[in-house]
Structure formats: C-alpha cells, structure tokens
Structure 1
Amino acid sequence: MPLSTLIQRSSQPSPSLSEAQAHALLRAHYDLEGSLQSLGSQQDLNFRVDSGHARYVLKVCHGSYAEVELQAQHAALAYLGEQGLPVPVVRPARNGSALLALDSEGQPLRVRLLDYIEGQPLTRLKHLPARLMAELGALCARVDQALADFDHPGLERTLQWDPRHAQALIAHLLPVLRDETRREQVARVASEAGQILATLVDQLPTQAVHLDITDDNVVWSRDVQRQWQLQGVIDFGDLLRTWRIADLSVTCAALLHHAEGDPLRILPAVSAYQAVNPLSDAELRALWPLVRMRAAVLVLSSEQQLAVDPDNQYTRDNIAHEWQIFDTANAVPAALMEAAIVQAAGRQLPPVQLSGCAPLLPELAGQAVTRVDLGVLSPHCEAGNWEQAGFDQAVLAAQLGAACSLHGQYRLSQTHIDRPDEPATCALGVELKVPAGSVVQAPQDGIWQRTGEGRGRLRTADWSLWLKGLEDTPADGQAVTQGQTLGTACGFLSVQLCRDHALQPPFFANPSAADAWLALCPSPQPLLGFACDAEPLPDAQALLARRDASFARSQKHYYAQPPHIERGWRNYLIDMHGRSYLDMLNNVAVLGHGHPRMAAESARQWSLLNTNSRFHYAAIAEFSERLLAMAPPGFDRVFLVNSGTEANDLAIRLAWAYSGGRDLLSVLEAYHGWSVATDAISTSIADNPQALETRPDWVHPVEAPNTFRGRYRGPDSAGDYLRDVDAKLADLDARGRQLAGMICEPVYGNAGGISLPAGYLRDAYAKVRARGGVCIADEVQVGYGRLGEYFWGFEEQGVVPDIITMAKGMGNGQPLGAVITRREVAEALEAEGYFFSSAGGSPVSCRIGLAVLDVMHDEGLWQNTREVGAYFKARLQALVDKHPLAGAAHGSGFYLGLELVRDSDTLEPASEETMTLCNRLRDLGIFMQPTGDYLNILKIKPPMCTTRASVDYFVDCVDRILAEGL
C-alpha cells in the first residue's frame, strides 16, 4: 500500500451508524435483540450487545478495509484459541458468514460479531502495580510465541501503527501540531530514534504480531481477594507481519501512562517478556527507540484524528494520557533506558575499555589513600549528623593524607524524608581529598571541554571523564594528548566516567536506576590506580532465605519482600540503599530510633555492670520509685520483667494468688501475649485463628465493647455490653467458682484504639471486686503517654485498677516491662514462693528506663503526642468525611486507627483493600500494617517524636491512594 493510502487511512473519521441502525442490523443478520453500549474506538465503531442470555461485541469498520485483513484476524483468533490463549470467538451471521459487507446510506461497512469477554481494561487504573506490568509483558510474549508460526495473506498490510512506517507518518503529520515547542520535541524524538533503528533494522526478525496488547485491550477481573486476574485479549485490528519487537514496544508505550513519570517502572514487563520469549541483542537495543516512536505516532494520530473528527470523544479523552506517554518516554536519557532494558533482560553492556591509560593523579602513585565509608552503616554517621550540609566533604577533610569516597556506594547523607520519590543516593563518581596543587593529567588523548569554573570533561574516542575542582585547565575545545596536564587540584577533586558522550550524568542516582547508571558511569578506579569501589551490598533476597531457613517461620516479618533495614533515626527507618521510610507503626520506639541518649546510657551502664536484680544497685530503686510516682495513689510495689507478655503473665499469677480463684474474664478481640497463660486470655483471631476454640475453662471471654462495629454501637452502649459481663459472672456464681479477676485494655488497642463506652470499666470493675476479684489494666500498648490526653489508658474511663501492666515503650526497644500494684496484692504471691526475672530490672534496663522518662520530659514528647496527635486525628477524620472506604477514625494521641469498610451501613470489612493500601504506602516510603480481627484497620502507632510534617505526609499519601482506588 503506498504512503498516500496510509495517510488517507490515518485521517478517516469513524463510520457513522446510529443505535437504531445497529439494532436493525443485529435483528436482520444475527437474530439478536438487546441493549447496546458504545465501547469507543479511534477509527471504528464498537458496541457491546447485551441480549439477556449472552453478551457480544458488534464491530463495524470502513468498507475500505480489505476483506483479507479481517479474515486474517479471524484466523488468528481461532489459531490462538486452539493454543489455549484467552481470546474472543467470532460468531457467524445468519447466512453463515463471519464477515458481512454492508451498505448504510451509501456508506460501505464491514461488520462482525464476537463474544464479549467479561471484565474491564486497566486503562483508567491510576496505579498499576509491578505485578500487573509483568503480567502484561508475559502475555505479550505468549501471544508472540504463539503467533510465530502463524501465516495468512492478510498479514501483508500497510498500517499506520506499523513502526516500519513511523518516520514517514510522523513527517507527514507533524504540521498538525500548532505548538512549535511540541512540534520540535516530536521531530527530535523521531530523528534520534530513527538514527538508532537505522543501524538495527536488518537484524530484527519479523512475524505476525497483535501490535496492540495494551491496558486498553486486555480484560481483567478481580478475584475474591480483590487481586486482578487476566480474562482475555481483545481487538486484533492491528494484526500484521512486522518486527517481533514492535509488539513489546506497543505494550511498553501503553504502560508509560501508568509509570507516574518514571519510565523505568515498565521494566518488569521487559523482564517477564524475556523470561517467556527471549529477545536478541538487536531487539533489546531497538525496543526503546520503538517506544519513543510509538509515543510520537500516538500523539500525532490523535491530534490528526480530532482535526478530522472533532466529535470523537474516545480520541479526545485519550489525548491527555497520550501526551503523558510521550513525556514519560522522554523523561530520562535514551542511553539510560537502553542500559536498563538490557539489564532487565538479564544481560549487560560490554565493559568500557580503560587499559593503557595514564594515571589521572601521578603524584599519588604508590601512596596510601584512605577509603572513606559514607554508607548507611558508616561509623562516621551518628545522631543524625549526616543531615548537615557538606557532611561528606567534612568527613573527607578530616582524614589524614589523601582520601577518597567510594564509587557505587549508597550514601546516607543523600537520603530525604517525607517524600514519595526514592532519594538519589548511589554515587556514580568519586570525590577525592588530595594535596592542593596535585597535578591532574589526561589518561588518554581527547578534547577538553570546559563546563564551568574549575570543571569540565575530557572527551576521548570512547568515553568522557568529568572533573570538578581544577585550576589552570586547558582552553575550551583544546586537543590534549595522553599524559598532558589538565590542571591542578584545588584540594577536593570530583571524578566521574561516562561511556555516552551525549550525557552529562548526575553524580547520584536513585536505587531503582542505579544499576543502569553504573553501567553508563563505570568506576574510575583504573584511572586512579587505587581502590575506590564500594563493597557490594548484601543480597537482601539471600538474607531473607537464610532467615527463613533458620528462624522459626511462625515469627513473621512485615511484607512479602521486606526492605533490608539496618538503621533508624527519629521516626524513620533507613534501608541499605539509603531510603528513609516513615515509621507509622512502631509503638516500641517511643523516643524514635537511634536516640543518642539511649546509646550513651546503654554503653555507660554496660561498661560498668549488668547483672540480675538480686544484686544491690541504685538503678533498680530509682526506676521503681519513678514508676510509682506516675501511678495512682495507693500503688506502692513494682515488679520488673522483660516484656508485656511477662507482665501480663505475672499479673494473672498475682490475681490467682490474691483472690484464691482461677477464673478470669477477658475481652474478645484482645491480645495480651504469647505465653501459655497470656495466650489463653488472648482472643484476637487475627493473631491466632483458633483463639476462640482453644480457650481453657478458666478463661471467660466477654463480648467486645466495640462501639463502632459491635452489636451495640455508640458511646452510650456500656449497659448493653455489661449484660454479657453479668451473664458470665452469674454463671460462675451458680457453679460456686471463685473469680480471680478481669483483664482488659482500657482502650481497645488491638481493634485500632477504640475507646470503650463511657462507664464500662467503672461498672465492670465494681462487679469484679464485689466477687473478690482484681482488675488488671493492660497498658502495654495504650499507656505511657501514647494516648496524648492521658498518661494511662484507664484515666479515660475514670477508674483505678488493682494491677497495671506495661512494656513496649518503657525501654524504647530495650526488653523491659513492669507490673505495678499494691503491697497486699504483691505479697500474696510470696505464699507461692519468690518471683524472679533474670534480666528484668537489670542495671542496663533500669538506666535505659530512667532515660526514657527523662527524654520524654526534656523533649516534651507527651505534649507533642497530645498536640500533634489531636491534629492527626482531625486529619484522619477528614479522610472519613471524604472517602466512602474510610469508615471511621479511632483513638487519640499516637494510638490511632483508620478503619476501612466497603459499606457504611453493613460495615463489611475492607480487609484486602487495607492490605493493598499498606503495600502501596510502602512504595511511597511509609511503613504501615493492618490490625483488628478483620485486618481492616490501619495500625497507627508512630514514635512520639513524630512531627506535623510527617502526619501531613502520611495522611496525604493515604488520601492519594484512596483517590486512586483500591
């Protein structure tokens, strides 16, 4: 087909066919009646036909389409269906023909009817996970693999989307762009991509391809876990014989719409395709130029189509996201994408040849050069000093003699906080501290190009050497020979290699692009003559496998593929690539991570003494006194243990000893620990799916007073819930059993921080005490100031328990727990023997416990929790008012929960959506996990040093994700 015909086809408006005409056509030729829904198309007409018992797609195109082309599509559908691929079936008309040639008011048309595949495309899905990108890439590979041996005369066609015609089509359609800047951008892209493709076309294999396996033309549906599952491939209108790699280029171009401005996000599709249907080196090199060409053709075709068919809403809706595809395709250097694609396919660029070079710094030959560690675990980094401007250079300057940073190291100083994008932390060059006046010479012949004061690059035949920190450099554009002086160092010298002359590379790369950038910017070590390469990071996957092989797997980890975390600072956790994650769930580190006071107290006491509490030392008395000073009047005895589990276990023993009974009331949906006794009173099925079936007969769960989703709702429901307490007590009375007591979190912690109904504990405590039992307040999660308005959770209920248990934040991560009670309760245990916890109340633990209280006071953390926590709760409530999925905001201070529901009336838990939200938050640099029996509540328990800025970032991200849709 000549170019003129191609251009004519690319400029056709859609056929004209009214719904009434479509109904008449269906009745006359297919004996079908049913409702119609337009599905939209750029140049054809597509209607969904709902006949009641089945659904079909009525496809109408211009009569200018050759019959043999459409027959090829039908043959391909049958061929792929036989190989098990999910494609539509063509339904014949009443006359037995699969293809009808009709005339509508003088308009020649070709008509077909296909089965409708139930589901939906992902075109408008605002966030496309890497898994789905990979599935699209693998699907494209399967279709290409299946079509490799398919042949039909209708494949030999000239189509505007065939990349072999892209340059001619772009040249013709460029004038349609009235914006000169846009026109120049498209022309430049076509020229750059065309130059690369010209060297590869003879090496690209051809075959039949679908050429439109995109988010528009692949149908999906959600399973019961709300995960997207593939249903089928539709729209074979672009089927033809062309380069095999063209098919993947179309898929990748479509995925750019979902790449959020970062084209490297599409790489999972490349890896998945390669795993199924391996590509040649030439095809891998051609892929990105073809993607850029496709993007250019997309925008030009849509602009042209609107010019001739301004009422085509389908095209009008698509233009914005096609320009987004174009801009994303050109958001990073083409050389970077080529390197990344090659690596995604499991291959590498050839090494840069640096043999035979003269030393860059001849005066350092044979001298010792100190390698300076600036990585995440660097001993130079402490107490957040890496946040200071010029930190890396200050560390280099402090070294004796010559020193160098490390190429390929992920530097802690380059991290950032409360931002969704990865920080650029990977060093693509080396910084040197050298004696001022050190000679810098040309390693090879080249041209010196000055790029600024004291900086420039040496462009050799094969690579460029970028330098900064020079004096007395050659003139701009001057040719230099190997060994010729390029200048003298000012004391600090920055050195960076790049294999691509068209690039001025950044000095730092973000982790997801680091491998590709390092392929373009190899180590300058051969030019320097001394070691400057960073040690590779530990393999996170191998480390996880080692954990799974040796660490009991009932001890779970967050996330299926958790980041490798080895450092923390304040309310952030930092992975080995230097990315800082906002920690929104760590209620152990109340002061935040890496607090210098904790390090100092621990080191000091360890250097003096650490032993068990049967020895006599001051810290245990001081810490016990401080704890009693915070307890209500009348509390005068402290037990020190290692954890909340031990504290609650001991509280049970105290209740048994003091009351003389064994029977305990516990509240449903609660968690109190992992020991035999505390597991017995824990009834959370999220923590133990068999919790309700495995209770011993001395445990009597009472109905959870959940004022949001319980049987009785609202703050005035205490009396309704207390009826179940009465029933359990009446049963014990009838059987003559002595009640030991009741244990309850004063705020319903495991359910997201829900307040108990007013008066519930007051009346429940009275009923328990009337029967000789004791009242245990489990403050492990909700106490110690975390609620903001109250230091102890029981204060909200206006009650005083008999036993207070605590742990978690007491030690800011040091194993430390406590039981506070009255003397008569404590001494009841002596009849059963003495109590002892080997490490509970050790000198180190006590000093750390004291320091936690001091820091909380000195840094105003309780006040911060109260003020910022109130702001936090208000922002969460605004989400509830805005998003139907956000059902309720629970809690106070820094013990909060956002409960997700699918229906505001039935309160159906949105469990799968909550997990998806948590995983998406992790992508944005936030750690969050679900809680509650249905795992549908965000478990918001951040360190008490959390700032308003961090709160805003967290809530804004949740808002964004809810708006994207789950």
Structure 2
Amino acid sequence: MLQTDAPIAKDNLQEAERWLAEQFALHGRLEPLPGEHDCNFKVTASDGSRYLFKLHPAVPDDARTELQAAVLRHLEQDAPELPLPRLFLGRDGRPLATVPDGEGRARRLRLTTWLDGTVWVEAPRRGAGSAASLGRLLARLDRSLAAFHHPAATQPYAWDLANAAARRDDAALIAEPERRRAAESILHRFVVEIALRLSGLPKQVIHGDANDRNILLDAEGAVSGLIDFGDMVETWRVNELAVAAAYVAIGAADPIAAILPLVEAYCAENPIGAVEADVLFDLILTRYAVSMAMAARQSREQPQNTYLRISQDDVWTALTTMLAQNRPLAIARLRRAAGHEPVAARRAIEHWIMRNGHRFGPVLPVSLDRRSLTLLPLGADRDQAAGRSFRECLHAALADIKNVAVGRYGEDRSIYRDTGERAIHHAIDLYAPAGTPVLAPLPGRIAMIGNDTSVDGFGGILVLEHESGAAHRFWTFYGHLAPASLADKAVGAAVAQGAKLAVLGVPDENGNWPPHLHIQLMTALCFDRAEAIIGLSLRSQWDLWESLFPSPNGILGLAVETGAVVARDADAVRRLRDRTISPALSLSYERPLKIVAGEGAYLIAADGRRYLDMVNNVCHVGHCHPRVVEAITRQAARLNTNTRYLHDNLIEYTQRLARLLPSELSTVFLVNSGSEANDLALRLARAYTGGTDVMVLDHAYHGNLSSLIDISPYKFDGKGGAGRRRHVWVTEMPDLYRGRFRYGDADAGPRYAEKITTLLRDMNGISRRIAAFFVEAALGCGGQLVLPGGYLAAAFAEIRAAGGVCIADEVQIGFGRVGSDFWAFETQGVVPDIVTMGKPIGNGHPMGAVACRPEIAAAFANGMEYFNTFGGNPVSAAAGLTVLDIIRDERLMHNADALGAYLRDGFKALAERHALIGDIRGLGLFIGVELVRDRETLEPAAGELHAIVEAMKEAGVLLSTEGPHHNVLKIKPPLVITREDCDFFLEKLDEVMTRLG
C-alpha cells in the first residue's frame, strides 16, 4: 500500500496522548509517522522504551481492524520467533481499545512493540542477503498464516492482486500516455490469461504488503522486522511473493537477479508449485500496474499529495526495467529459483526426442559411427599447463585428425580468452572440412538466419523450429556455416528432413575457428535474433542454461561420450541436492563440504584443501587406493556378470575370506552392503531355528532395511521411530563408564549378560521363540564402547541354550580395525554362528558378506532359491581380494594396533589439560572419547562436542559424534594413517579445545 505524510493537528496529538494514557496506562513522547489510513505514532516512554501506537479511522465496519489484531495474536502464539509487532492488551484486557472521537464515532486503538531497523528504501546495506532474509521471513509467516482464517480476510480489497481486473478503470486515469498504455496492457494480460491460471492455486491469508517502507533492516542488511498488517487478505499465496519481489526489484539494474535470492529463500522454507512459479513474473508486473492505477485514482482524489507522484516514478522505472527483460528467460530464472525445471517443456521435449530419435537423419554426409569419431582432448588443466590459448590447443588437437572430431557438450572452456567465467559449452561441435554440407536431421521451418561477424563469432547461423508430432515446439541451432550458403534461405520456409541447410565455413568467415558445426538444442527461444544466442554460459548459471540448451546428442545420436559433468560450487550442489534427494539423507557439518577427491587418509575439497579423515571406516585401506582402483578397472573392462556362471574371482574370494574366519564358519554368501548382509543373516537364523524373535543391545544399529530398523533401538526408539515391535527384545548396553557395572569390576561382563537370561525367561513365558542375538563386539552407535571381558561368552551360552543363534555384526569393526585381531569378536574369545560384513570389505565398492556354519546354510536351502543379482560379481570380488591383499601386504593390522595405542595415549595426555574428556576407550583404530561437563556427574557435553567437531573441520580434520547422548567423539580413520597424521590431529584437537575453553 502507498503511504502518505498527512500532517497531524496539535489537538489530535494531545488526544492521542490522552487515549494512550487512559487505555494503556502509558505516558511518553509521541512522534507522528506516515500512514495511508491510520494515524501512527512512535511512542518513547520516560525509561527510553519505545512503542508503536495506531489510531484506526472511525468506520462503520471495523472488521479489518479486528482482522489485524487477530492475526497478530495468532502469530504471537504460532510463530513467536518472527520479528513482528506484538500486541499489548488495554485496560479491559483486549488487544483493541475503543474510544469515542470528537464526533461521537467509535475509534479503535492499538499498541504494539516497536521494531528497530531502517526501512528498506533507506537502508544503506541492502543486497542479496537482505532479499534472502526477507524470503525466509515471509515463508515462515505464510506457513503460519496458512492455518489462520477470519471472515474479514475474505472481503474484497482494492490492493489484492486477485482484484486486479477491477483496476482497469483506474488505469485509464493515469495521465502519462506511455505509463497508461503499459498498465492497461499488463492488466489486460492478467484478465485474459493470468487470472485463469491462478484459479486453482493455493489460497490463504497473506501479509500482502511487504513493500520497501514496511520492511525493516538491521545494520548488517538483514531483515529485522515486518510492519503494517493493514493490507492482509485471503488470496493466492503466490501474491505474497509477487508483492515483495516488486519492491525488492526497485532500483536494480538486473531486477530478476535482485529477486532470485528472495524467491529461492522463500521456496526453501515454503515451496511453491510450478504454476505459481510460472505466473510470478506476470504477477510482479501486475503489482506495478495496480500500484500505478491506484495512485492515479488517489492523485485525482488527493491532488495535493506530492508523495504519490514521487513514489510512482520509482515504480515506473522498475516497471520499464522489468518490461525490458527477456520474458521467457526471466520466467525460466524464476522457476529455477523456485526449485523447478527452468523450462517446463524440457522434460516432454527430451522424452519425445528419445522416443523418436531413431527416425532422425544425419547432420553431416560423412560417417559418424564410433570408429570414425575422435573426442578432442581439450582439458583445461593440460591447456593451461601448456600455456596456450583455447584456440591454439584446438588447432593443435585437430592437426592429426583424419575423420570427424567431436567437441563435447558441457565442456569447460575457461581457458578461452575473453569469456571470463563464461566457460561451459552449450553445444556439440563436429569438426570437418570447410564446404562439408550440413543436413537437416528432422523436418522443421527456418526460424532465424544470422551472420555473427564478431571476433570469435559463429559466422553463418541458422535456427530451425520443429513441432511436427512433438508435444512442444523446440529449436535446433547451427553455427559456423558459410554465410554465402545461406543466401537462398528465408525465414518461415519449410525444411524437409535430409535437406541441405548450408555448408561449413572457412576460418576467415568463421571467427578464425577451424571449420566445424556448432549444434545446439533449444527448449525455448529466448532471443530475438540469431546473433544474440549464446554458446557458452556462466558456470554458476549452468542449471538454467542446461534447461534451455540441453544436450543435442538426442538429435545427433553419436555413440561416444559427448557430454561432460559440469562442476558446480558447493552452494549450488546443496541447492540441487535439496530438490532431488530426500532430506532424510543427512549431510555432515553446518556448512557441508564439497569433496571431489581422496588420497590415503585424506579427502580433498573442491577448493583443493586437504582434510585428514578421522572417521571414514569405509575406505579401509585408504581413499582411492591405486591397487583397488586398478583391480576394479581391469576386471570391469573384461567382464561383470552374476553368479549363475562359474568365475575364478568368486571362488578365490570366498576361499580367502573363509580362511580368515574360524573353521566352523565355512559357508559364505556375498551381497552388496552391510544392511543386506544383516537382513540375510536374520533370514538364515529364522530358517535354522524356526524362531522369530531377535535380541539386540540397547542403542544398537544394524542397517537401513525395514527388517533391520525393527531390530535397531538406535532407530526405532529415536526421532521418527515407531517403537519396539513384539518380536524384538532389548538388553542393556554393557557400558563400563555409565552403566550399572563399571571399570574395575572383573565380573562386569557376565553380570551384564544376566539381563539376557531374564529376557529369555520372559520370552519363554509368553511362548515366544528366540531366533538370533545380534551383537557388535565393539559398539558403534552405542558410543564406541568396548564390551567387557567375558560378556560375549556368557551371552552366547545363554542364547544357544535357548535355541537361538549368535550373530556377530562386523560391518563397522572387521577386517583388522581392532588391530590385535582380524575380527572384533576374536577379542572376546568366541566363535559366532553367523558373521556379517560390509563397509570396509570393498574399500568403498558396494559389497558385503555373510559367513555361517554349514548346517545353518543347509537349513536355508529349503527349495526356495536365493539369488543376488550383484552379490559376488567378478568386479566386486576383485575389489575384495585386493583389499585383503593390501591389509596383509601393508601390515595394516599392526598399523591399527600401534597407532590406536598411540592415539589413546595422546588422548590421555589431553585429558590432563582438558576436563571435558571423561572417558577414553577403544580397540585399535576404533576409538571413542566421551566428553562430559563434570567428571563426577557425567553430564554429557554434547553441545561442546558439536562445536569442537565444527572447529576441527575448519582446522582440517574431519570428525563425527556418536553415543546415546551425542557426546562421544568417534575415531575410525582409514587404516593407512601415519604417526604424523596422528600428531597433526592431536595438535589441532588440543588447540581447538583450548580455544573453545
């Protein structure tokens, strides 16, 4: 809404002071503030506290005043964290006081908190961060208001964009012809097109007036408040965003760029639909038109109000800038910010091309099969190292090519001078001799003809439009043609499939490029002339341009790798991940890292920084171990199939694995993950015992399959969990630091196992039958706990006596991690009935295994075939064999044992200086350090540990937390870490703990 600066008469000011004292028992100095309908005052009390006092006009129906008060009361209860005005109750306990004015009419009074800040239009530090913070505020506000209803909100309101059609008569009052025509055209489009699309969109109460004088910013440019709820209305939700965007865009050279952070932040908190995103651009224009129309009417009614004319100059400038935008491109940009495919038709176009591509013809009358094509090796690293320009590298690469060469789509050409960041290639280039004919691969009509004579330009250009049989129109762009060969072509002319379009140009007429065809697929025609179409884009905008210009190989059908994966910055990857991957799949750290490489015990981020990985027990023998990489590559190049065929790798691996296990465990199944291994172990146990029930330790986690979530207290008793199911029995965790029996109790292991006896008795009492006891010999999610001596021996004896089998889950702790033994269960001197393996087994290659007694496997072979498509494939087996070789050859068990002891000694030294360290435990390179605020009360220091983990990331060390109280620092690095790595880690941990206190 527009605000006015109407003067406040002295007697009105005195009357306001009297009402404030009478109704709210507040005295202070009143300063008049602008307002369109209300009399507004800033109140400064004697103690310096400030308030906003509003005198609503005396009207017969004050339902809208009641609406404002009701909304503020609702938001105070439902969204107290938002920086909004909060109501004070009057003497009668109501948020609105009622007094008679001088003419005997009832006036409503409202007192609210004062919000500090500078209005948007006057703030010196507003920018993208300001727009984003406004988007977050409005999104949370609208989420809260979605559940709010009030009769007055449904009444027609002049400023509501839903009523924009009613403003057409007002638009006719605009004095300036150019402005009048623009407003009338926008409102006409709204009536005949936009309003029809809005009819089915979400409706709710919105603030409706996040204008540049209702938004407050703090000194850093972040939104500190939103005021003036006088324009609230129940309307289409997207109008909230449109109104705010209209004001954020004012004064911006690129208004769409100014709006994008607002839209992206809003949609991250409160997603909008694709149609809402489609109409947003037009609704922003509509807001400007409505503002101009309303101002014209108000100017006629209030000719003395000069503010109206001043504010409308800003609106008109913003509108003309917005109207100058490329409309399809602007909509695509807004759709992208809202989390939708920038070009809505892209999916349908690509699907149509995929279904019909076999009917397309060639674009060059030469062989384009795999044997005749050469991919140009134009990697930027090589080119820059050679100190040559892109053009020089290109000429050199083409020198020895005899057939057709291919320049790839999505290729990084940042070394090409004059492009700056514009480096990502939109097209596929086909390099062939000058004069080679270019043919139409499918029917169309000529949409554009051009000749780009600029330096490094496209030379002759032809754009074809295709629509015959397709769900949507699309276009193909052909560049670097000989201009003379286009002389007989005309825009609008039909082109048959196979028709000669042109010939390839020579370098002199082709920007001095080697002769080639630059072909782009276009899902939208966002340019008014052929010469304006771009062939390279900003890396940061690749998601937008890739939607406008997807890979043209669906048209070409080249049977080679014609596309490159474009590296995005971490923020872009995070944004896309949030859109396509479930939020249930979590990320590490408050600001997640983008990791692009690994080497040994280190991970390498996109910026080249190396991080010591102290927590990744998957890459057991080191990230990207060259022997594992080579084994996978060698076997994948030869054969990868399933286990229905005989293969040496499978039998070699199962024999090797079996020899590392107790002789009783002679049958091996190969699967794809630790979760799959545990699920199979559960099936084996039930088939062998005939029982159904499972016993597990409290806080245990055994995998992400449904069957395993049911037996994982870490999940079913956690947030979102469904609780324990009837077939699951949970025994206490043998915690020597916090549990019933603690360090120094020589019988702690058997005493903890007594709980199992009690549970088995209870199970038998209700005629339930035990199938299996799942247990880790060193507990991961339980807090990196080492089981007390004798625990497994006593527990296994009880389980077996009751008819169950004992399953050792070695998914996290096997393959030599504990140092003294190959398997963690060996440290307890027991032999399980079944052992499950995963994570480190393939050094990151997805594989797992189950080993069991042969009689258990025999019971499972009951006639129902067990088949696993990928389990035991030759490539996985090759990876597994190499991991076993490396553990042996590089003496990694010894390294785990020695460096594990070294680290524990280092932690003990740190504990003398840092009282937060309460307990240090572990086996080999499986270590837990429990942090407590008090060593007597053992109060968990979860918050402190979180801060330490974040600070250690900044120091170059990657860590994580564990345990029921999230206060255990877990240490389980690749087994290839060195003593120098350990020293670096301990030094940084000491520095961080000292700094954080």
Q: TM-score, normalised by structure 2?
A: 0.48
**Looking at both structures, which has the greater relative contact order when contacts are Cα pairs under 8 Å and sequence separation is at least 6?**
1
